[in-house]
Amino acid sequence: MPRLPLTILPLAAALLVAGPAGAQMAQTSDKLPSVAEKAVPQSKAQVQLSFAPVVKRAAPSVVNVYASHTEPRGASRSAMDEFMRRFFGENGGGRGRGGAPGERAQKSLGSGVIVDESGLVITNNHVIENMNEVRVALADRREFEASIVLRDPRTDLAVIKIKSPTGGLTAMPFGDSEALEVGDFVLAIGNPFGVGQTVTQGIVSALARTQVGSSDYQFFIQTDAAINPGNSGGALVDLKGQLVGINTAIFSQSGGSHGIGFAIPASMVRAVVETAKGGATAVRRPWLGARVQSVTPDIAESMGLDHPTGVLVASLQPKSPAEEAGLKRGDLILSVDGKTVDDPEAFGYRFALKGLSGTTTFAVLRGTGRTTVAVKLGPAPETRPRDTLKVRTRSPFMGATLVNTSPAVSEEIQMDLPAEGVAVSGVDENSIAARAGLQKGDIIVAINGLPIATTKDLERVTRNSLNMWEVSINRGGEVLTSVFGG
C-alpha cells in the first residue's frame, strides 16, 4: 500500500476564523471511578459509561491560539506581491483582513494547553512560526494577548505565556506517556477548522512511530481520535484527564482526518516546558558526538541477531562524550537506561530526554559480547562563535542562513562535524538558495575557487553580484561543485 502524504496541521489560509467558542460541558460529577487494572466492559452498564467527567476535568485547560504576522508598508515583497501591487494597487486593490492599508497580514489558528497556573501554554511551533502577534482564547470565552517564551523547531513545540490573566487558570497535569499501551482510550481536545472547542475519542493505535517526518525527534503516539487542521497544539488526554501528548500531525490525502493522527509524547513536552520555566529561551540537549545508523536485516544476520534491533555506531567525533566513554565504531547500542531502541529516531528521542548532567548507560553489543557503557551528559560545546549570516544579496545563497561550524551546530542540524567550515542551517522556502539546491547541513567549501572558512569569508565573497558563481559544497562527505549564472 502506498504511503499517504503527511499533512502537518497549520491553519489553511482559507479557513473561516470562528469565534473563541468553548463547548458547554455536561454538568456531571468530576469524580472518576477508581480503576485498579485495565479491563474490557463486563456489562451493559459499563458500556454506557460516559467520558463526560474526563472532559469536564480537562477541557478548561485547552485553549484556542490565534496568531498573526503583519508586515508594515515598505517591507520586502515577493514577486507575486509586486505583481499584485503594480496591477491592482496596494494589497491587491483591497485591505487584508484585520490589516491597515499598506499592511500584509498572515494568520494562523491552532490549539494549546495550559500547563502552569502562571499562564504558560504549550502549543506547536508551526502554529506560531513566523508570527509576531498571539492571542489565546479560553474555554470560558475569555481572551488574552500572549507572548512567545520559547520556540523549539526540532520538536515542533513552543511555549507562550498569557499576559495579565484575570481570574484563575486551570493547568492540565502531565500524565505518563511511557505507561500508554496500544488499545488505551484517549481523547483529543482542540479547535478543528476554527469551529470552537471540540472533543473526539479514540484509542492509541500505535506507539513509538518514527518515520513521520514532522520534527527532528520522531517518536510519536498514533491515535485514531479525529484530528483536523486547527487541532495542532491541542491535548491528547488519558482517562484520568491528564496530558499524555500534544496533537501535531496527520496522514491525509484530503487535509481532513482519516483516523491516523500523531501526538508528541508528554515526556518530551514536559522537558520543553521545564526549560521554559527555568527561564531559558532555547532548549539545549545532551551531546553524544557520534553518528548512528539503522540495522538492516543483512547487518542483523551478520551480527548473529534474530532480527534487526538497536542502532549501529557509524562514526565518532574526537574528544566527544561517546569517544571518552569508550564507544567504538561498529558497536551496536541496544538500549538507553534500559529503554530499547530500534532505530536512530528512537535512540535520538531517548537520549535527548536525559538532561544535561550526570550519566546515562547504554547496553552495547560488541562483537559477540555484551557490555554497558556510561556516557557523561552535557551540552555540545560552541568552540567558536557561530556568527550567523542571512544572505540577502543576489547570489546562489540568497535566502540561506549560514553559521560557523562547531559541535553545538553539528548537534543542532544533525550533521557530521567537519574540522572547520560554514554550514547551511536553514533555507527559506521558494528562495534563490532553495532553487539552487542548497540544503540544511551542507558545508560551503569554496566559492569561485576561494576557500570558505567562516561566515565573514562568505559575506565578503557574496557582497557584490557576479555573472557567474562556482560553488563547492560538502554534502554527507561528498564534495559537489555547481556553476550558477548571476
Binding-site residues sit at: 126, 156, 230-232
Q: Cα separation of 353 and 176, whole Å?
A: 14
287 grid coordinates? 551531546
Grouping H, G, I as helix, E, B as strand and the rest as coil, residue 112 is strand
Pairing of strands 120-124, 157-162: antiparallel
Q: Which residue has the cell 499562564?
A: 119
The tally of CA atoms less than 13 A away on the side-chain side of residue 33 is 9
Q: Cα separation of 444 and 438, whole Å?
A: 10
Q: Cα separation of 69 and 182, whole Å?
A: 40
Q: Which residues pair with 204 in a beta bridge?
A: 223
Annotation says 156 is catalytic: yes
From the list 340, 332, 342, the residue with the least C-alpha distance to 309 is 342
Q: Which residue has the cell 496500544?
A: 182
* Cα–Cα–Cα angle for 457, 461, 465, rounded to 5 degrees: 155
Q: Which residue has the cell 472533543?
A: 199
Q: Which of 111, 126, 177, 252 is catalytic?
A: 126
- Give the list of residues 6+ apart from residue 460 with CB closer than 8 angstroms, or none: none
Annotation says 357 is catalytic: no
Q: Which of 61, 108, 111, 156 is catalytic?
A: 156
Q: Which residue has the cell 479560553?
A: 138
Q: Which of 68, 232, 395, 425 is catalytic?
A: 232
CA–centroid distance for 477 within its chain: 27
Annotation says 126 is catalytic: yes
The answer to whether residues 131 and 149 touch, using CB atoms and an 8 Å cutoff, is no
Q: Would you list which residues are annotated within the binding site for substrate?
A: 126, 156, 230-232
Grouping H, G, I as helix, E, B as strand and the rest as coil, residue 238 is coil
| Helix boundaries (H) for 104-257 | 125-128
Q: Cα separation of 232 and 128, whole Å?
A: 11
CA–centroid distance for 199 within its chain: 23
324 grid coordinates? 571518552
* Torsion angle of the four alpha carbons 113, 284, 429, 235, in this order, in degrees rounded to the nearest 10: -20
223 grid coordinates? 491515535
Catalytic positions are 126, 156, 232
